Amino acid sequence: MSLLIIRLLVFVLVFWAGWRLWQYWQQARPSEKTSDKDDPGPKMVKCQECGVHLPADEAIQSGDLHFCSIDHRDAYQSSSDKD
């Protein structure tokens, strides 16, 4: 009976040591998920005319409004003038 208890204790000790090594290895390597959170990407804005989303640095801005092209800006402004 005592041999069975010794085997069980050795198994538990080996399992615990393996678990600790696995945790250490997980913490030591750089995580790819963390780097994605650090770089959310460019700010996206919506074209007022067609609703397409595009990066803010590529958008045509007119006041607080954003447009995907000059044609859409002009079309939006001409439709606003008619109303």
Q: Per-residue pLDDT averaged across 51-80, rounded?
A: 92
CA-based end-to-end distance of the chain? 93
Distance between CA 81 and CA 79 in Å, rounded? Answer: 5
Q: pTM of the prediction?
A: 0.52
The pLDDT score that the predictor gives to residue 6 is 93
Is residue 57 predicted with pLDDT exceeding 90? Answer: yes
* Residue type (1 letter), 28: A
* Contact yes or no for 76/49 (Cβ under 8 A): yes
